[in-house]
Amino acid sequence: MSVGQGVESAVEAGGFDEAPLRDLLETYQDQRGALIPLLQGTQAAYGYLPAEAMESIARALREPLSQVFGVATFYAQFRLVPRARNVVRVCHGTACHVSGAPLVSLEIERNLGIGDGENTEDMMFTIENVACLGACGMAPVMMINERTYGKLSPDSAVKAVKEFRAKEEAGNGSGDTSAVPEVEDADGEEA
Ligand code: FES
**Does position 13 have pLDDT exceeding 70, yes or no?**
no
Strand ordering across the sheet containing 86-91: 125-130, 86-91, 142-144, 147-150, 183-185
The model carries a pTM of 0.72
Residues contacting 76, CB < 8 A, separation 6+: none
Q: Give the start-to-end residue ranges of the domains of the chain.
A: 4-74, 86-185
| Domain 86-185 fold | Glutaredoxin (3.40.30)
**Does position 7 have pLDDT exceeding 70, yes or no?**
no
Centroid of ligand 1 to alpha carbon of 136 (angstroms)? 4
**Does position 181 have pLDDT exceeding 70, yes or no?**
no
Share of the chain above pLDDT 70, in %: 82
| Of 181, 81, 164, nearest in space to 125 by CA | 164
The average pLDDT across 17-36 equals 89
Provide residues with CB under 6 Å of ligand 1: 91, 93-96, 132-136, 139, 141
Share of the chain above pLDDT 90, in %: 70
What number does the ligand 1 atom closest to the CA of 133 have? 3
CB atoms within 10 A of CB 90: 25
Residue of 90, 141, 185 to test ligand 1 pocket, by largest number of atoms within 8 Å of CB? 141
How confident is the prediction for the chain on average, in pLDDT? 85
Report pLDDT digits (tens) over 57-113. Answer: 999 999 999 999 999 999 988 999 898 999 999 999 999 999 999 999 999 999 999
**Does position 30 have pLDDT exceeding 70, yes or no?**
yes
What number does the ligand 1 atom closest to the CA of 138 have? 3
Centroid of ligand 1 to alpha carbon of 191 (angstroms)? 16
Centroid of ligand 1 to alpha carbon of 29 (angstroms)? 39
Q: Whole-angstrom Cα distance, residue 189 to residue 191? A: 6
What number does the ligand 1 atom closest to the CA of 91 have? 2
pLDDT band, residue 17 (cuts 50/70/90):
confident
**Does position 184 have pLDDT exceeding 60, yes or no?**
no
The average pLDDT across 112-140 equals 95
Centroid of ligand 1 to alpha carbon of 74 (angstroms)? 25
Centroid of ligand 1 to alpha carbon of 139 (angstroms)? 6
Give the pLDDT confidence score for residue 186 in this predicted structure: 54
